[in-house]
Amino acid sequence: MQNLFERLKPEAKVVIDEQADRYPLSVAGLTEELKSNLFLGDIKYNHIMWLARDSKLRKIAGMHPYDYVDELLIINLSKLFND
């Protein structure tokens, strides 16, 4: 089974890579977290929030700008990954 980083959609990887210059520690931590987990529900809450705060990633996930209900985050953000 592939880890979350391997399953990440190419367009989402591009957005995350673009953020690496601006937020190198955050992106490094997120990348390691995605590489070491198979399921989105297993990554740390701060990384879930990092993914959810980016408007480009929210658009890729098909989220409305105001879809910020905690229980919906993992369901919506799962659309950033291939099955």
Which residues are bridge partners to 81 per DSSP? 8
pTM (two decimals)? 0.79
Give the C-alpha separation, 3 to 5, whole Å: 6
Note down pLDDT in tens along the chain; length 83 residues: 899 999 999 999 999 999 999 999 999 999 999 999 999 889 998 898 888 888 888 888 887 766 665 555 666 778 888 87
Contact status, residue 23 vs residue 14, Cβ threshold 8 Å = no
Separation of first and last alpha carbons in the chain = 10
